[in-house]
Amino acid sequence: MSIRLKLTFWYSIVLAATLVAFGVAIYFFVNINTYSEMKERIRTQALQIRIGATLDFSDFGVVPSTIQDEELYIQLVKYKQDTDQFERTSNLIDYQLVLPYPEPTSPDLRTDRYVHVKVKNVSFLVYQRPIKQGNEVLGLLQVAAYSGKEEKLLNELRTILIFASVVVVVIAFTIGLFLARQALRPIESIIRASDRIQNGSDLSMRIPREGPPNDEMGRLADTLNGMLGRLETTYNGLDEAYKAQRRFVSDASHELRTPLTTIRGNIELLEKMWLPLLEAPQPQDKLEDGSDRLSEGLTKQEQQAQFTREAMQDIAGEAKRMSSLVNDLLSLARADAGYEMEKTPQPLLTLVEDVARRAQLLPRTAEWRIGDLSVLQDVQVNAHADFLRQLFFIFVENAFKYTPSGSVEMKAIRSANQAGIVIKDTGIGMNNAEIPHIFERFYRADESRGQTAGTGLGLSIAKWIIDEHEGSVEVATREGEGTTFIVWLPIAFPGSSNQL
């Protein structure tokens, strides 16, 4: 519910409660004033009537037959006769009316009281005075006055108050809704401007100011504009720094590739030239007891050869690792720069089979299994072939890296118009809490997995390639049992309809 409706509802509820309280007070006041004179009149008349011991009209202070006020009706109820009897004034007899009276044991006979009654749909206000001898009730004197006009007046007043309250609340709700809308219009302008800034990412936009200088909405707009100004300045500074960082990473990656390629080439040449010589058997001298003895010069030569061999292997390994890191950084720099791949229809089966064949040559300690790939027959995807190969190699190398024993399997599945490449291993697995983070840059899993060399960039590059191909990836893992990655790619040409 919007603030406008909330304010209007609260305003209407408060107004309705006020009108109800005001209406009840008016009705109560009018009711008291309407009946007060009538109550006083019939009570005075009742007090003037004195009943004799025989409970008849023989000892009235005012004889009923001589009462000139025809609007007063008097009835005497006798409870001490064999049957309940009553005597009435002539106006009750003429109209054939009998005022209702309580039973002799009723609690209504304890004290004098006023009651509203209806006789043949005629309204009366009755003053009842019990006639007692000690604590015993002998009879009941009732003096009544016609109250139809007053009751009608109060009914009409009640109807008017209810109808007027409803009309006023409806009108107030409508006007309040309009006023709330007018009062909150600057907030709607702020929301629309904020949405345009959010959707357009244009921090140079400002919220238009409405209202007088000291208006709260105007001050809010000024505050937000000031905040947007600071955000724009900060964002532009960060954006420039980020662009400079991306340029540095891209340029550094390009610049490092050349010397690293040279280093790797020279090391490979040296390994081909010198390792056979360094590993050749050396002449040995025999001692008199038949044991081998290396001369002092040959021992030093052998040690030098060993050191040289280890140094060349270390240089070659580090150069290879640095080349891989530089290539990963270059790929991420391309992703950050908004690099768009040139994609063409590619036969997915041929591409996956090429990856499966070349994966056999990767360094590994686990068994490499190639599962059923037949569902990819005649399936084509709109892809960049080199990047797609890199994507699959990342998952396969990752599986080999974290599977010291067991097996790594690659197979294919189909679902609707998507092809899935499954890379499943029986390695060390992961904790499920790590899954949301594995595609983050430089993220490495727990320390036990940190024993395996890596930079934490491979899966980030894989996620970028998947996103560029409008695909998705599923991950299922369990510690100590292995991990399964399923790479889903949209099929450009469905081809065969066989599905798994």
pLDDT of residue 409: 94
Helix (H, G, I), strand (E, B) or coil at 250: helix
The tokens of 467 are what? 């996103």
How does residue 500 score in pLDDT terms, banded at 50, 70 and 90?
Answer: very low
Comparing 98 with 305, which gets the higher pLDDT?
A: 98
Is pLDDT of 124 > 60?
A: yes
Helix (H, G, I), strand (E, B) or coil at 459: helix
In the chain, count of helices (H) and strands (E)?
8, 14
For tokens 């950084």, the residue is 329
How does residue 424 score in pLDDT terms, banded at 50, 70 and 90?
Answer: very high
Helix (H, G, I), strand (E, B) or coil at 9: helix
Is pLDDT of 489 > 90?
A: yes
Alpha-carbon distance 374 to 412, whole Å? 8
- Output the average pLDDT for the chain: 77
Is pLDDT of 305 > 90?
A: no
Contact 482, 425 (CB under 8 A): yes
pLDDT of residue 495: 45
pLDDT of residue 343: 85
Find the length of the chain.
500
pLDDT of residue 256: 61
- For range 248-255, the mean pLDDT: 57
pLDDT digits (tens, 9 = 90+) for 324-333: 666 666 666 6
pLDDT of residue 323: 66
pLDDT digits (tens, 9 = 90+) for 265-303: 777 776 666 666 555 555 544 445 554 444 444 466 666
- Whole-Å CA distances, 328 to 262, 263, 347, 460: 19, 19, 26, 9
Alpha-carbon distance 352 to 358, whole Å? 10
pLDDT digits (tens, 9 = 90+) for 49-72: 777 656 665 544 444 444 445 578
Comparing 357 with 289, which gets the higher pLDDT?
A: 357
Ordered alpha helix ranges (H), 337-384: 348-359
How does residue 472 score in pLDDT terms, banded at 50, 70 and 90?
Answer: very high
What is the reported pTM?
0.45
Domains of the chain and CATH, by start: 3-154 (3.30.450), 344-490 (3.30.565.10)
The tokens of 37 are what? 């004179």
pLDDT of residue 83: 58
Comparing 203 with 5, which gets the higher pLDDT?
A: 5
Alpha-carbon distance 148 to 168, whole Å? 30
Q: Tell me which amino acid residue 434 is.
A: E
pLDDT of residue 183: 72
**From 40-54, 127-141, 170-184, 441-455, the region with the lowest mean pLDDT:** 441-455
- For range 238-260, the mean pLDDT: 62
pLDDT digits (tens, 9 = 90+) for 427-441: 998 888 888 888 887
The closest alpha carbon to 403, from 480, 324, 317, belongs to 480
- How is residue 82 annotated by DSSP? S
- E-assigned strands of 226-356? 285-286, 292-293, 344-347
Is pLDDT of 205 > 80?
A: no
Say if strands 418-425 and 472-478 run parallel, antiparallel, or are unpaired. Answer: unpaired
